[in-house]
């Protein structure tokens, strides 16, 4: 096999694993949603991972604490 093909496959695997870790660590997703995302990532390799990563980017996480601008001075 050509070196370019091997490097391409290795890069694809690293990308798949990276997106998998991001989905698993994403707290707002339920376990069912995580399972669906993981199936999408691994059954449709490049496109599925790109779609899952785009979904993570558009998902808003709730802030841990409110913004200081939301509080009125006392």
| pLDDT tens for each residue of 20-61 | 999 999 988 899 999 999 999 999 989 999 999 999 888 776
Q: For position 66, what pLDDT does the model report?
A: 60
0.85 cut: is pTM over it? no
Q: What is the pLDDT of residue 57?
A: 87
**Among candidate residues 7, 16, 14, the one with its CA nearest the CA of residue 45:** 16
| Euclidean distance between CA atoms 3 and 46, whole angstroms | 20
């Amino acid at each position: 096999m050509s070196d370019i093909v091997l490097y391409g496959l290795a890069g694809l695997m690293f990308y798949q694993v990276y997106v998998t870790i991001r989905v698993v660590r994403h707290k707002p997703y339920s376990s069912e949603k995580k399972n669906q995302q993981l199936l999408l990532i691994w059954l449709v390799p490049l496109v599925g991972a790109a779609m899952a990563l785009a979904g993570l980017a558009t998902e808003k996480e709730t802030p841990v604490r409110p913004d200081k601008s939301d509080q009125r001075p006392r």
